[in-house]
């Protein structure tokens, strides 16, 4: 396999967290170290304005590129919702990641999905 892709949907999050770009930056900056990953970029975080043509009333979106892949966070302030993806070509402690995220966002409910990516990926080196 290539690696795990953890998908989290957080409902009923603390609004002070999901609307603050500095807090989302801090979370993206700390999380790679907590789960044993290596950042290869600084977190990129953006306040997203409302889109009058959709349900989206604005939020914060951010990501950090890690040597093993990426971590992303997208928030929807009005719905007190956050979606978080952690994709890695290296195993990591899923429960540690979920606990850290739950401690930061304080959601009322978390939905978790784990996808094993690249089930037929060959890790051995092919030489010609």
Residues with catalytic roles: 69, 74, 89
Q: How far apart are CA 46 and CA 20, in angstroms?
A: 10
Which pair of structure tokens corresponds to residue 17? 């967290």
Q: At what angle do helices 21-34 and 94-105 cross, to 10 degrees?
A: 160
């Amino acid at each position: 396999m290539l690696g795990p892709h953890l998908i989290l949907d957080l409902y009923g999050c603390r609004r002070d967290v999901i609307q603050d770009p500095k807090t989302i930056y801090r979370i993206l900056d700390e999380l790679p170290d907590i789960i044993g990953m290596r950042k290869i970029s600084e977190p990129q975080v953006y306040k997203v304005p409302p889109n009058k043509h959709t349900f989206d009333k604005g939020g914060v979106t951010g990501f950090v590129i890690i040597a093993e892949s990426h971590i992303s966070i997208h928030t929807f302030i009005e719905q007190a919702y956050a979606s978080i993806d952690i994709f890695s070509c290296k195993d990591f402690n899923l429960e540690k990641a979920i606990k850290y995220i739950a401690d930061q966002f304080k959601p009322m409910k978390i939905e978790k999905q784990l996808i094993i990516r690249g089930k037929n990926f060959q890790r051995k080196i092919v030489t010609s």
